[in-house]
Amino acid sequence: MEEDLVKIRREKWEKWKDAFGDKIALKFECENKIDQIVNDYSHKEKEFFDEKKIVVKTAGRIISLRKMGKLTFCHLSQIKSKIQILFEKNSVKEENYKNLSLLDIGDFIGIEGYLLKTRTGELTIAVENYKPLMKCLKPLPEKWHGLQDVEQRYRQRYLDLIINSESKERFLKRIKMVDAIREFMKKKDYLEVETPMLQPMAGGATAKPFKTHHNALDIDLFLRVAPELYLKRLIVGGFEKVFEINRNFRNEGIDTRHNPEFTMMEFYESYSSMDEMMKLTEELLCYVSKEVNGAAEISFNEQKISFNPPYKVVSLLMEARKFLNEKGIDENDLDDSQVREKLCDSYGLSKEKSKSRMKFLVEVFDTFVAPNLIEPTFVVDFPVEVSPLSRKKDDEVVYRFELYILGMEVANGFSELNDPDDQRERFLKQAKEKFEGDLEAMSYDEDYCLALEYGLPPTGGEGIGIDRLAMILTETDSIRDVLLFPLLKPEKEK
RNA sequence: GGGUCGCUAGCUCAGCUGGUAGAGCAGCGGACUCUUAAUCCGCUGGUUCGGGGUUCGAGUCCCCGGCGACUCACCA
Q: Based on the fold, state whether residues A118 and A251 are members of the same structural domain.
A: no
The distance (Å) linking the CA of A78 with the C1' of B12 is: 25
The distance (Å) linking the CA of A127 with the C1' of B25 is: 27
Is the residue at A64 inside a domain? Answer: yes
User: Could you tell me the sign of the dihedral formed by the alpha carbons of A181, A187, A188, A189, in that order?
Assistant: positive
Q: Based on the fold, state whether residues A174 and A109 are members of the same structural domain.
A: no
Is the residue at A87 inside a domain? Answer: yes
Is the CB of A27 within 7 Å of strand B? no
Number of domains forming the structure of chain A = 2
Instruction: Identify nearest nucleotide to residue A139 by CA to C1′ distance.
Output: B10
Q: Based on the fold, state whether residues A293 and A401 are members of the same structural domain.
A: yes
Task: Please state whether beta strands A377-383 and A261-270 pair in parallel, antiparallel, or not at all (unpaired).
Answer: unpaired
DSSP helix/strand/coil, A393: coil
Strand runs labelled E in A33-81: 55-68, 71-77
What is d(CA A364, CA A386) in angstroms, rounded to the nearest whole number?
Answer: 14
Is the residue at A493 inside a domain? Answer: no
Phi, psi for residue A187 in degrees, rounded to 5: -60, -30
Instruction: Identify nearest nucleotide to residue A70 by CA to C1′ distance.
Output: B33
The distance (Å) linking the CA of A10 with the C1' of B28 is: 14
- pLDDT for position A3: 79
- pLDDT for position A494: 41
Task: Please state whether beta strands A303-306 and A312-315 pair in parallel, antiparallel, or not at all (unpaired).
Answer: unpaired
The distance (Å) linking the CA of A395 with the C1' of B47 is: 69
Q: Based on the fold, state whether residues A168 and A265 are members of the same structural domain.
A: yes
Q: Based on the fold, state whether residues A182 and A249 are members of the same structural domain.
A: yes
Q: Based on the fold, state whether residues A19 and A78 are members of the same structural domain.
A: yes
pLDDT tens figures, A421-474:
999 999 999 998 888 878 788 889 999 999 999 999 999 999 999 999 999 999
Convert A137-160 to b/e letters by CB count within 10 Å (16 or more is b): beebbeeeebbeeeeebbeebebb
Counting as low any pLDDT under 50, the low residues of chain A are 494
Q: Which nucleotides of B are covered by protein (CB under 7 A)?
A: 1, 6, 9-13, 24-29, 31-39, 44-47, 66-76
Is the CB of A227 within 7 Å of strand B? no
Is the residue at A104 inside a domain? Answer: yes
What is d(CA A422, CA A3) in angstroms, rounded to the nearest whole number?
Answer: 68
Q: What percent of chain A has pLDDT over 90?
A: 83
Is the CB of A303 within 7 Å of strand B? no
> How far, CA to CA in Å, does A125 sit from each of A32, A57, A121?
12, 9, 12
What is d(CA A208, CA A230) in angstroms, rounded to the nearest whole number?
Answer: 18
Q: Based on the fold, state whether residues A132 and A174 are members of the same structural domain.
A: no
What is d(CA A219, CA A231) in angstroms, rounded to the nearest whole number?
Answer: 23
List the beta bridge partners of residue A211: A222
> In sequence order, which ranges of A328-413 are alpha helices (DSSP H)?
337-347, 357-364
Query: At A59, which CATH number?
Result: 2.40.50.140
What is d(CA A377, CA A331) in angstroms, rounded to the nearest whole number?
Answer: 26
The distance (Å) linking the CA of A101 with the C1' of B42 is: 19
Cis peptide preceding A310, ω within 30 of 0: yes
What one-character DSSP code corresponds to residue A369?
Answer: I
Structural domain harbouring A77: 2-140
Q: Based on the fold, state whether residues A133 and A219 are members of the same structural domain.
A: no
Is the CB of A207 within 7 Å of strand B? yes
Q: Based on the fold, state whether residues A285 and A421 are members of the same structural domain.
A: yes
Q: Based on the fold, state whether residues A61 and A175 are members of the same structural domain.
A: no
Amino acid sitting at position A427 = F
Is the residue at A343 inside a domain? Answer: no
The distance (Å) linking the CA of A66 with the C1' of B55 is: 51
Q: How distant is the alpha carbon of residue A401 from its chain centre?
A: 22
Is the residue at A153 inside a domain? Answer: no
- pLDDT for position A493: 53
Is the residue at A242 inside a domain? Answer: yes
**Residue with CA nearest to B12's C1' atom:** A145
Query: At A410, which CATH number?
Result: 3.30.930.10
- pLDDT for position A389: 95
